[in-house]
Amino acid sequence: MTKKITNPEILAIRGAAEVDPACGRVWVGLDVGLKSTSVCVLDRDGKVVHHCSMKTHPTEIGRYLAKNFASNVAVVGMETGAMSAHLAGGLRKQGYKVAVMDALQVHRVLSLKRNKTDTNDARGIAEITRTGRDYLTEVYVKSAACFEVRAQLIMRYRLVQQRLANENMIRGLLRVYGGRVEPGAKSSATYRDRVVEQLLIIQDREGINLRPRILPVLDLCERLQTDAVRIETELEALAAANPVCRRFMAVPGIGAITALSFFTAIEEPSRFRRADDVAAYLGLTPRVYQSGESLTHGKISKMGNRLTRTHMVNAATVLLSATKTFSSLKDWGVRLAKKVGFNKAKVAVARKLAVILFGMWRDGTHFQFKAETVEPHRQMMQAARA
């Protein structure tokens, strides 16, 4: 149980709060670790009221704040990390205002201190929370339901990657003995048949029996494929039940996985002021460096969610190379590919896809295959809602 602190600084804060609540406000900085969290509390003048370390759990931290600072906590600040979503959600349920700030930006501020310690980091985060939230990016913490869908997307992606890695390993091992697995359908059943065929050829030709070593790995590939298909079926059902994702899937190249990935990456469209901000949020916009007379546009920033960015680029690839339906977006992408190359064009199309999907979500519109019908359709939907 958290011990109640009775040092003079805390008593002075509580006494000031009884006279004037604004004078008794405190700001809290949390340097979050996996097992323990360093806590620093500052008053309105930036003076350290109390500093301690405790277990990384929202109930423990909330009990400490409630016992010692009553309702005088203005903001609790922390940086993004593995435990930040759990802590932020738990503290918000207890009624505290929590600011989760971008870890990269916080690191740049904290690096000004000569010595990096948990105490200094908690003090720096508390000071940023008190004075610097206007110039640092405050991160949106997604809901538990959103994290659940994201977990399924990540698990499916990992299962597919592990299966492909094992299949490539087998293909490489067989090449040592002159075996060559012909490319074909990516189902585990057909791949297994082609590998077994090569194993028999190697045994007849070289007198080496590789089946006891290779067959267990093939069994593993089949199990990975089965689990990935099961998760994909569940995700397809979730996408079909979501009206926003159903509208997303009407866009050429967008399937259930990409629709859910984009939906859960954004979750709340009202937090973006402009549609172009979504492309920057997903890391699909080029970096800009300007100093004096020089202005350089580099490669895309890749600062957003990597998995969603991969899904968007894959959707753009399908749109450009596999879809047969005409659309102004595909026509623009094909012309751009002839000018700058396919790799750059697919990233540009992915950026436009992100903007289009966000606009459809925000305005409640549907995908228009011709650019000239977009504005009339938007006006029609706005009039219908009015």
Are the C-beta atoms of residues 198 and 177 closer than 8 Å to each other? no
233-236-240-245 Cα dihedral, nearest 10 degrees: 170
| Inter-residue contact 106 to 128 (CB < 8 Å) | yes
* SS3 (DSSP) at 26: strand
Question: What pLDDT does 328 receive?
Answer: 93
Residue 318, C-beta contacts closer than 8 angstroms, at least 6 positions apart: 252, 253
Question: Rounded mean pLDDT of the chain?
Answer: 89
Structural contact between residues 14 and 69, judged by C-beta atoms closer than 8 angstroms? yes
How many CB atoms are located within 10 Å of the residue 103 CB? 15
Report the 10 Å Cβ neighbour count for 30. Answer: 28
Q: Where are the alpha helices (DSSP H) in the chain?
A: 8-19, 58-69, 84-93, 103-110, 118-131, 144-176, 188-206, 211-241, 243-248, 256-266, 276-281, 306-321, 328-340, 342-363, 374-385
316 close to 350: Cβ distance less than 8 angstroms: yes
Question: Whole-prediction pTM value?
Answer: 0.87
Task: List the beta strands (DSSP E) in 80-139.
Answer: 98-101
pLDDT tens digits, one per residue of 80-120? 998 999 999 999 999 999 999 999 889 988 988 888 899 99
pLDDT at 59: 94
Q: How far apart are CA 179 and CA 198, in angstroms?
A: 6
The predicted-structure confidence for 272-317, as pLDDT tens digits, reads as follows 989 889 999 999 998 888 877 787 888 888 888 999 999 999 999 9
Cβ pair 78, 101 in contact under 8 A: yes
Q: Specify the residue for token string 């110039």.
A: 135
Q: Are residues 87 and 61 in contact, defined by beta-carbon separation less than 8 angstroms?
A: yes
Enumerate residue ranges in the chain where pLDDT < 70.
1-23, 183-189
Which CATH class for the 8-131 domain? alpha beta
- Burial call 125-136: b when 16+ CB within 10 Å, e when fewer: bbbbbbebeeeb
User: Are 16 and 72 contacting, i.e. CB atoms less than 8 angstroms apart?
Assistant: no
